[in-house]
Amino acid sequence: NAGVTQTPKFQVLKTGQSMTLQCAQDMNHEYMSWYRQDPGMGLRLIHYSVGAGITDQGEVPNGYNVSRSTTEDFPLRLLSAAPSQTSVYFCASSYWGADPQETQYFGPGTRLLVL
């Protein structure tokens, strides 16, 4: 198992550019989510999905879009990058079951710099 993989590892964008951060997992997890982490801060939830075709907003969704066409993939799109979106982005996945808190598995992160 590769676990949760994220690409790219590092990206530099200019203000106004768009891009897609890729996230994939091979554990057949129903639940996937995106977080951003700013320096000295905890993780803030951007969007999450409980299965293919189902997505929902987290704490800080503005400026980001997601889709979930397959169980394995959960890409995050930046529509028009802004310097305020400079951050480290983590993707996570877990089972979605009766247990109210399944263990989350995190990817290695994508460092994004918006100039």
Binding site for other proteins (CB under 8 A): 4, 31, 33, 35, 40-45, 48, 50, 56, 58-59, 90, 92, 94, 96, 98-109
**What's the one-letter identity of residue 109?**
G
Nearer to other proteins, 90 or 114 (CB): 90
Q: How far is the CB of 80 from other proteins (least distance, A)?
A: 25
Asked if residues 90 and 106 have their Cβ atoms less than 8 Å apart, the reply is yes
Give the residue with the Cβ less far from other proteins, 13 or 109: 109
Tell me how far, at minimum, the Cβ of 33 lies from other proteins, in Å.
5
Q: Which is nearer to other proteins, 53 or 108 (CB)?
A: 108
Q: Which long-range contacts (CB under 8 A, 24 or more apart) does 84-87 make?
A: 84/114, 85/36, 85/112, 85/114, 86/112, 86/113, 86/114, 87/36, 87/37, 87/38, 87/112
Residue 36, judged by CB atoms within 10 A of its CB (0-12, 13-18, 19+), counts as buried
**Shortest Cβ 54–other proteins spacing (Å):** 12
Cβ nearer to other proteins, comparing 44 with 67:
44
Q: How far is the CB of 101 from other proteins (least distance, A)?
A: 3
